[in-house]
Amino acid sequence: MKKFIKVTLIIILLLFLAALIGVSFYISSIYISARAMKLDEEALSSPYVNVKVYDSENIPIKEDNELNKAFASINSLSDSTKNAFISIEDKNFYNHKGVNYKRIVKAMLNNLKAGKLKEGGSTITQQLVKNTQLTSEKTFERKIKEVALAQKIENKYTKDQILEQYLNIIYFGNNCYGIESAANYYFSKNAKDLSVEEAAMLAGLIKSPAKYSPIKNYDNSLSRRNLVLSEMNRDGLLSTEEYNRAKNSDIKLNINGERKNRLNSYSQAAIDEAETVLGLPAKQIALKGYKIYTYQNQDKQKALSEAIKGQEIDSDYAGIVIDNQRHAVVAYIGNSNYKILDAKRQPGSCIKPVLVYAPALNEDIIYPCSQILDEKTTISDYTPKNVGGVYHGYVSARESLSKSINVPAVKVLSYVGIDKAKAYAEEMGIEFDEKDDSYTLALGGMTYGVNIEQLAGAYSTFANGGVYATPRFVSFITDKNDKLVYINKPKEKEVLREDSAYLLTDMLRTCAESGTAKKLASLNQDIASKTGTVGKPNSKQNLDAWNVSYTKEQTCGIWLGNLDNTPISYAGGNQPTEIVKNYFESVDDNSQFIKPDNIVERQIDTTELNENHRVVLANTYMPERYTQKEIFSMLNLPSDISNKFTKIDKTTFNSKVENNNAIIDFDAKDYVTYNFITNGKKTTISGKNGEQTVTLPLSQAKQSVEVEYYYTLSPEIKETDTISFIKTKKTQQNNNKKWFI
């Protein structure tokens, strides 16, 4: 037994050594191969490049796609500016040979704890390699290459040259590549004139330009800037007096407004997408001569731009148009100090079709005509409120959606279930935070929200018969020799049944005809629409206004708001809907929604709908005035058929004697005629609905009242009752004196 254990341990040891040798050989081969690679010196030194972007006709898009137009020499920068980046990014920059092995080991341990490649332990030199020589993918092989090339750069360039190259290529968010560009955008000044607190803010920004944006996430940016200042003070590069002064100052931005349109242009969105699909930063895309071919349609781009200009909007805004069948963004425009597609906003009621009503229809939980009680209610400690505190009683799902009534939306979400509803929305491109688990979701209450591309993309699912694919700006990309390196192949998936998508579309048609988007009613187009307005908490002011509308051919989404959360004076049913209207008026779109074969029209019994709030099919005997036509999926037809006008239900008559009068109370139906006959006289009640009271004088000690009631339009279908009374001077309840014939 001992011998067996000994042999086993030896085998394990040999296997371990073999694996170690294999890994070492693998690492060595990659390292040697990387050391043999030729440095792309143009990428390291070129301060100015231009990305080539083309529209759907292969014509260059006439927008400014220049990168690193501005350049800052290392000698022009203050010591405090250089020290800010060194303290937070690479304290031992002037001492190492391109790689800090202690940082790499620490990063590896943190990655093991996290279970993924979360940290890289990169030095400034390694970051320079990552941004100029390699793709941005997080793999072990790329990390080895990064180390080898960093050492190669250290052997070729001085430390100041490396720092200069780094500061002129690093990304600061908002399309700012290089410190000169960032200083000009955020502070409207040259990099050489940055104060210590301004330099610290920029140094803190590069770790995550979105998370630490001083425009969108001011508190995060301030905290990160103060961390940089603290590190500078700890490193002896900033006096305690300077540190205290700087950390107690606000971040005072002076945004260069001239760059706003470029920041949110169609071509910039395409460049950002190309960075993702190629795994390369924009500067490398430009230096390698890649050409980006997009789906942009110049006519629709112009129409969208003119539609927005016609409203004279004084807030941030964005508009997008998606070709539904191709899942292609054919027009996009935005205006803000921040990249709008990098931001997320609360969608308000625009989330209702995606998260609430589409899943409910697809799960066969509701019909468009289903009645839902709109009342004050509490569900799982959440009490939703309607706009203006007005409640409408029973309303149809169609009306609830088209008029954007809140309480029914929350109730329907509870019928579907939050997890199931979120799963549907996620299949349509909507992203949720783990904290998004309450019924506030039905009204758009998300931790982070959505951007206009995601929301419009989700709506395009309905136009496509329930099929979704991520909308894209980029059609294909070629290298400088016109060789194809990327082509967009939409990955379609069926999220909803075709019949469910059509039913929802028909409900949103009502919204465009008579609901919150009724400004679109004058369009001579087959269009579906939904609006959304997000109010500022505890205020009558608004923060976001949305409209997303679609035809069979295209989806148009509009957002108005301010990314710094300055209130706006707009609501979804007003300016955003006007912009959508202006857009569709100026484009040629005569497309029609196609009704699937399994969508059918059926007559339902409106008396049952109004009295008992049940959807039942009308029988062939029902007069037309008591029916209404509704559409259904053949996969989810009402199972019950009304028995009205085939027989008449018994009516309960409550009777009593009061002051020698016979008092009869009953619940009347407006489609039934009631005759009360006594002493040869007839009293008739017809066309009345609800609680009714009949008073008849008693002339005899014992007297009977004959009651005859029948369908007004079908008198042959009738019932009769006899009610007996005993005349008395006192009020007498006559609960036991009742016979039915």
Catalytic positions, written as ranges: 89, 349
Distance CA 491, CA 198 (A): 44
Q: Which residues of 242-251 are buried (b: 16+ CB within 10 A; e: fewer)?
A: bbeebbebeb
Nearest to 476 by CA among 264, 263, 277, 268: 277
CA distances from 3 to 8, 9, 17, 32, 104 (A): 9, 10, 21, 43, 41
Tell which residue, 391, 290, 364, 288, has the closest CA to residue 42: 288
Of 475, 47, 70, 50, give the one whose Cα is nearest residue 289. 50
CB neighbourhood size of 99 (10 A): 19
Which residue, 62, 285, 294, 41, is CA-closest to 177? 285
Rounded-to-integer distance, Cα 41 and Cα 92, Å: 24
In the chain, the largest separation of any two C-alpha atoms, in whole Å, equals 123
Q: Token pair of 647, please?
A: 């027989």
The CA-based angle 115-119-120, given to 5 degrees, is 125
Q: What is the DSSP track for 426-455?
A: HHTT----TT--SGGGGGT--SS-B-HHHH
Beta-bridge mates of residue 721: 707, 740
CA distance 732 to 727: 9
Report the 10 Å Cβ neighbour count for 69.
15
Closest CA to 74 of 65, 85, 64, 66: 85
How many angstroms separate the CA atoms of 349 and 400, rounded? 11
User: 173's torsion region: left (phi>0), alpha (psi -120 to 50) or beta?
Assistant: left
Query: Strand pairing partners for 317?
Result: 335, 560
Q: Contact, 376 vs 393, CB < 8 A?
A: no
Q: Which residues face 177 on adjacent strands?
A: 171
Distance, CA of 380 to CA of 414 (rounded, Å)? 9
Q: In what order do the strands lie in the sheet with 714-726?
A: 681-686, 672-678, 702-711, 714-726, 738-740
